[in-house]
Chains A and B, each alone.
Chain A
Amino acid sequence: MTTHSKILGAGQPAPDFEIHATPDQTVSLSDFRGKPVILAFYPADFSPVCGDQMALYNAVLPEFHKLGAELVGISVDGAWCHAAFAEARKLHFPLLADFEPKGAVAKAYGAYREREGTTERALFVVDGDGIIQWSYCSPVGVNPGADGILNALEAMRDGRPVEVA
């Protein structure tokens, strides 16, 4: 039985955080204030498939940028592991380390899996005012793709209501 975490939903303020992006550099959610940001929680660096979620988002990154949005990936892996992963996959966006205290950011978003000690495969699109506009929690074994994110960003750009996942 897979149990789903109850993740934060549309309309709720996105909890701020400040965590490491590299061993000597931190990133805060508030750094992105004024533009949409996509928070992509994923279970682990180096999952054993090549067309994985982060590689896909890396390929779709120009589309996210066209819609004015920034992307960050978040997992409980440490900054050194993230650096190796980002280099191996040639990722062009920051990976944040929800490492100490472990999973604290994921917990604040309701996206932590206590039993496994990893984050859910959960997506949040946060607007420029720090409000969650769309969120989606995928079954952990299923890569959710990018279409839900693009639909949400387009609706936000056009001032349309964002469809609930």
Chain B
Amino acid sequence: MTPNQQGILRTPVNDNDHSAGPADAPVTLVEYGDFQCPHCFRAHPIVTKLQKALGNKLRFVFRNFPIAELHPYAVKAAEAAESVAAHAGPDAYWKMHHLIFEHQQDSPNALDEPHLLRYAESAGADADDVAADVEDGTFEEKVKADFMSGVRSGVNGTPTFFINGVRFDGDWTSPNEFKAALLEAAAEGART
């Protein structure tokens, strides 16, 4: 364990966030992630398993942290996912979210615009709406705001996780360590 307490979530979870699980869950896990980041790709099934394991004890929130210079499709993927949420609602957002991560490694262009639009349509949105939003940069500011809220909270790469508002500096690649940290926070959260 490191005593480093620099990373505190500065922007509390709010109505602009994409959130899965009960709002009053004893533990909230916030991920700052990049849809084209291979480490986030690795984290995705781990988080999904933890959601299943913790059930109603866990609320999961995903915020965009695209590192554009390394991942040329990351910003547009984030904007497309935002567009799906705006046009088709939270369930469609999560479908889009899963589709992007599941297909991230299919091919080098798995997240180019034609693919993103296909995922958007599978998720239940109208591809033309999403194409127009991506073209117009409708959600550019939202994605930037997510990014800056992460920077100000001490996000130090992707993925970065916050458990009940405190950056998790442990090893998320170890499902047991990650789960133990969440359960500990859930027990604390249930007491307060």
- Chain A residues within 8 Å of B, Cβ to Cβ: 49-53, 55-56, 58-60, 63, 89-92, 138-139, 141-148, 150, 165
Contact = CB atoms under 8 A, between A and B. Distances in A.
Which of B10, B151, B154, B169 is most buried by chain A, counting CB atoms within 10 A of its CB? B151
Interface string B1-12: 010101100100
B151 A147 contact: yes
B69 A145 contact: no
Interface in B139-155: 147-148, 151-155
Interface residues of B, number: 25
A50 B37 contact: yes
B2 A146 contact: no
Interface in B47-94: 67-70
By DSSP majority rule, is chain B's interface helix, strand, loop, or mixed? Answer: loop
A139 B4 contact: yes
Contacts, number: 76
Interface of B: 2, 4, 6-7, 10, 34, 37-39, 67-70, 147-148, 151-159, 169
A91 B152 CA distance: 21
A148 B155 CA distance: 11
A53 B157 CA distance: 7
A55 B160 CA distance: 14
A150 B4 contact: no
B4 A145 contact: no
Given A50-B37, A55-B157, 20 more contacts: A49-B39, A50-B38, A51-B39, A55-B69, A55-B70, A56-B67, A56-B155, A58-B69, A59-B67, A59-B68, A90-B69, A138-B4, A142-B4, A142-B156, A143-B157, A145-B151, A146-B156, A147-B10, A147-B153, A148-B154
Contacts of B2: 139, 141-142
Nearest to B159: A51
B141 to A, nearest CB: 14
Contact of B69 (A53, A59, A141): A59
Contacts of A51: 34, 37, 39, 67, 70, 156-159
Contacts of A138: 4
B68 A145 contact: no
Contacts of A58: 69
A116 B37 CA distance: 30
A90 B156 contact: no
A90 to B, nearest CB: 4
B69 A63 contact: no
Given A59-B67, A59-B68, A142-B4, A150 B151 contact: yes
